Amino acid sequence: MARQVTSTTLAQAVADHLRMRIHRGDVSPGERLPAERDLAEQLGVARISLREAIRQLREDGYVEVRRGSTGGTYVTELRRPAEAWRSRMREQVGEMDDILDFRIALETETATLAARRHTEAGLVPIREAIAALSGVIGRTAFRQADSRFHVALARAAGNERLEEAVEAARGELFSPRDLLPFREPVEETLRDHQAIYEAVAAGHEGEAAEAMRAHLERARRQLRFIVFGAADDAEWPTD
């Protein structure tokens, strides 16, 4: 018998959705979520389900509710959920690599399709994401610019399901770069994004896929550096 959909399962789905948005950097530490009524309307759910989802996120340390004139629901500094994520990645051997393998499969095909199907209009947001990355100040801005690039590339590929899968996979890799004492890999990421863009814009499918693969393999090394530890003043691993 199929499992019935209840308000509890819906609330969990809402909590998971908001958690993934935070993981991807769509909503950053210190940022206020939309008002309850507005957020419930955006998500297409009843306010009671949203309240339960917010309660779950509060218990997990993702958000806090503030009172007063500047009250509302705010994303925390994420230290507790970031450490919980790192602990899970350490305990569940191979999970992080499984996610990265999945991302490589998705995003190399995304780059291939973007090289084949892109329009001139579709290239504009990719260039804008690269420009945003070149001028970032701070780790939160870095994460947001990086996310913009990958989403824009997925849209240029012209497949909505692929775009949704890319966003979901990115949400599973909670990379708490803005919480840890590491230098942002801006130069390496900018170089990678530019190489991917140039191959896509030129319509070189194989080169676009290989540039994306190299980029995500570098991300794998950086994430392993975050998860499995290094000295607090260590630099990002480079080629």
Sequence spans of domains, the chain: 7-77, 81-228
CA 133 to chain centre: 15
Q: What is the mean pLDDT of each run of 10 residues along the chain (239 residues)?
A: 57 91 83 94 94 95 90 90 83 85 95 97 96 82 86 94 87 60 72 97 98 94 77 45
Per-residue pLDDT at 176: 52
pLDDT value for 229: 67
| First-last CA distance in the chain | 53
Please, how many CA atoms are within 13 Å of residue 14, restricted to the half-sphere of its CB? Answer: 26
**Fold match flag (7-77 vs 81-228):** no
Where residue 237 falls (left for φ over 0; alpha for ψ -120 to 50; beta otherwise) is beta
Q: What is the pLDDT of residue 142?
A: 82
Q: Which amino acid belongs to residue 225?
A: F
For residue 185, what is the DSSP state? -
Three-state DSSP state, 164? helix
> What pLDDT is attached to residue 232?
41
pTM comes to: 0.76
**Gyration radius of the chain's alpha carbons:** 19
Helix (H) or strand (E) holding 74: strand 72-75
User: What pLDDT score was predicted for residue 76?
Assistant: 92
Q: What is the second-level CATH architecture of the domain 81-228?
A: Up-down Bundle (1.20)
Contact assessment for residue 156 and residue 35, using Cβ atoms and an 8 Å cutoff = no
Which residue from 186, 184, 180 is spatially nearest to 231, judged by alpha carbons? 180
Q: In the CATH hierarchy, which fold is given to the domain comprising 7-77?
A: Arc Repressor Mutant, subunit A (1.10.10)
Q: How far apart are CA 130 and CA 132, in angstroms?
A: 5
